[in-house]
Chain A
């Protein structure tokens, strides 16, 4: 077993944590942040259960353990801001407001699915909620978010595009091209690295020239170094609000590295045995949901208030899951539609 390095210990993740002062209950919509994280957690767990029942096919990449990033950002974004996420995107899609039924339905290939079963787990998209797509090719969506930001700048709408990606993305060329162009054109785009310390099955530190794969590269694009505890939802919400406001004001892009940890493997195929047990244990103690629950209790929030949020989320998952399960299978006709804007798939006369 590999000894845990400073990078891989949770203590390294406190570099720029926002302080939770006594007025924190007023500064943050605490119950909304907590509720969002509980919903994401329970829905992701249900995804996992549905795999085990063989109702979700193919693959899936769960965000268990990374909920604070989705909740913190979504809580700070304007409804018309754009989210671009990766194949690990269930949490962002839900956090922006897509219903659990539409997400679970998509995973199960149901008619009620967000994409009518044509996209699946890795491509969740809900334009009406600002979720402009989940992208399954590492790094692809960073330039696309740049384009959406360019469009927002051109149209003068004040919208901001937010691209979420993993630590592994920082080593692919699209990362560099997107960051450079966004900085040169001063575009309203926020790049958010969810550094969960592993690019698929390999420790990111073993394949990266710098310790903090996103933050340490910010200076290359003339951007401020931003590193935050990605398991502290208020810290995330704080830095998100700051970066979004800057981007909206015309100050240009931001690059934020959120340190976090996935509770499970890269995908359903991965038992994640490459991670040292002590490291896993240390991070599980810093479960973002457990941490936040305790913080709220310490601040005097009633246990019963949190319990009722927990119960409501559990009920929502149960109902959504049952409704999605009983929704008809996506119609086969959909496979032969909508390649082109006219709805057809014709390529010849």
Chain B
């Protein structure tokens, strides 16, 4: 086991896959000698050289277009879009080109590529460098959507994404880059499409993603300590493929589901998860599914303003405890 930061785990995954497969190439803005603005590609340029690790101009259309053309002709490109907000600059490729190619060509072409991007708030960058846009991607048929919550998964899931034959949008969370944990030595690959149950409880299920996962875990501890509410915490890890098997199995046991989503309220992933739980576990539910999200607003920049709108540990604790108060009274 090596104690790695989330950002070092990202570069370790890319290095692992580049060493294994010379079709894997990396491109993006400042990813080469500079090691990325988030330092998530440090050392790759030195290890693999300028033909495999390439800086691009500030040209998001060209970056994703080039990745697509390379993927359809035998390479396995990994590209970085510096901030996920910038996906809007190249949305044609994200929404129209990359995900539709295999389907439209009736399987003539497949696109094994990974779009890595720094997603999410909590770092005071303001409304155009802080969004959680995984829902944008989830709405598009043909993209796999991955968002790790810890260093170990950053390595294992990214490795799996690079090996995957389909296009993967890989959301790295800015607020998690400096978090550290033990990451397995040697080859580490975590299959896509499997949620992880971090804690098993009996009263409620909390499903979370990326930076909301550590908050949900902390909230679960407080709920247990202060309210004697025992919750499961599920890290979804991937939105597509979505591991509903794990979610519904736990909800059937606890009878309650809370989602914790960093995204603005409308059409968040939790809405889809809630809808599926209603369809498939309705008679197991003790109460309505409750979504904990950011308000439906752009993210503000200042410390106290951003903290006030992102789902906090306290907000999770308050929402769950209040929602379950009647149940406890009844009991």
Contacts and interface: CB of A to CB of B under 8 A. Distances in A.
Nearest to B77: A147
B244 A348 contact: yes
B69 A144 contact: yes
Given A151-B70, A338-B102, A181 B109 contact: no
B61 A173 contact: yes
Interface string B190-218: 00011000000000000000000000000
A118 interface: yes
Contact of A144 (B65, B106, B193): B65
Contact of A147 (B70, B165, B246): B70
Given A151-B69, A173-B61, A135 B244 contact: no
Contact of B97 (A125, A137, A146, A178): A137
A178 B90 CA distance: 13
B119 interface: no
A341 B66 contact: no
Interface stretch (B51-59, B149-157, B250-258, B319-327): B51-59
Given A132-B109, A137-B97, A140-B92, A118 B103 contact: yes
Interface in A116-175: 116, 118-119, 123, 125-127, 132-133, 135, 137, 140-152, 154-155, 161, 173-174
Contacts of B72: 132-133, 144, 147-148
A125 B108 CA distance: 8
A339 B70 contact: no
Given A177-B59, A180-B57, A143 B73 contact: no
Nearest 4 A/B pairs, CB to CB: A143-B65, A147-B69, A341-B165, A147-B66
Nearest to B165: A341
Interface stretch (B220-228, B235-243, B288-296): B235-243
A188 to B, nearest CB: 12
Given A339-B103, A340-B102, A341-B102, A177 B240 contact: no
A137 B75 contact: no
A135 B68 CA distance: 13
B96 to A, nearest CB: 5
A87 interface: no
A324 to B, nearest CB: 16
Contacts of A132: 69, 72-73, 109
Nearest to A82: B73
Nearest to A182: B62
Nearest to A116: B106
Nearest to A176: B59
Contacts of A174: 61-62, 65, 92
Contacts, number: 160
Nearest to A117: B106
Interface of B: 25, 51, 54, 56-57, 59-62, 64-75, 77, 92-93, 96-97, 101-110, 112, 141-142, 165-166, 193-194, 240-246, 276
User: Mostly helix, strand, loop or mixed at chain B's interface?
Assistant: mixed
A181 B66 contact: yes
B241 A155 contact: no
A334 interface: yes
Nearest to A179: B62
Interface residues of A, number: 52
Contacts of A146: 62, 65-66, 69
Contact of A348 (B57, B92, B242): B242
A6 interface: no
Contacts of A337: 107
A245 B140 CA distance: 40
Interface string A178-196: 1011001100000000000
A293 B237 CA distance: 64
Given A177-B62, A181-B57, A151 B74 contact: yes
Contact of A119 (B62, B68, B105): B105
Contact of A143 (B66, B71, B102, B242): B66
B94 to A, nearest CB: 12
B68 A147 contact: yes
Given A143-B65, A173-B61, A349-B193, 20 more contacts: A116-B106, A118-B105, A119-B104, A123-B104, A133-B72, A133-B109, A141-B65, A144-B66, A147-B72, A150-B69, A151-B70, A151-B73, A151-B74, A338-B103, A338-B107, A339-B103, A342-B165, A345-B141, A348-B276, A349-B243
Contacts of A343: 107
Contacts of B97: 135, 137, 140, 144
Contacts of B62: 143, 146, 174, 177-178, 180-181
Contacts of B68: 143-144, 147
